[in-house]
Amino acid sequence: MEAAGSAHVALKADSFHMNIEETEFSSALRSAAPVLRHIHLADNNRMAPGMGHLDLTGFLRTLLDIGYNGAIAMECGVQSPDSYGRNAFTTDSRTFDAYAKKAVATLKNIEVRLGAKASV
């Protein structure tokens, strides 16, 4: 980023990848805070927030603690059981709606617990 020499080059944090690659996401977010401009939010299984076991409350608490006020986008793989009962990616609008409802409910619940000023 420094080598680019542009204020338009910044960092994106991705909760799914951080869950796999970081030892502890809170300190990684804190160290990146000055250049953090975008968040991709998904659960540990890349499904909607609340459909896995990622500590989303801790992740979002850290964002509040560092004063993050940039964009947060959900980057989820929408899946439903195929004819063999295996989860497979789908374009079914009802499944997308169910994912969105679960994600919004999860984030609103976290917002209430954190007493966050941001709204979902």
* pLDDT, tens digit (0-9, with 9 covering 90-100), for 52-71: 999 999 999 999 999 999 99
Q: How many domains does the chain have?
A: 1
Range of the structural domain that residue 82 is part of: 11-114
- In this structure, is residue 120 part of a structural domain? no
For residue 119, what pLDDT is reported?
53
For position 101, what pLDDT does the model report? 93
Residue 26 lies in a domain: yes
Looking at the domain assignment, is residue 16 inside a domain? Answer: yes
Distance between CA atoms of 24 and 5, rounded to whole angstroms? Answer: 29
- Asked whether residue 89 is assigned to any structural domain, the reply reads yes
- Give the model confidence (pLDDT) of 6-52 as tens digits: 888 888 999 999 999 999 999 999 999 999 999 999 999 888 999 99
Domain membership flag for residue 4: no
Asked if residue 63 is part of any domain, the answer here is yes
Give the tokens for residue 26.
């809170």
CATH code of the domain in which 110 resides: 3.20.20.150
Q: Locate tokens 């896995």: which residue? A: 52
Is residue 3, in this structure, part of any structural domain at all?
no
> What is the value of pTM for the model shown?
0.83
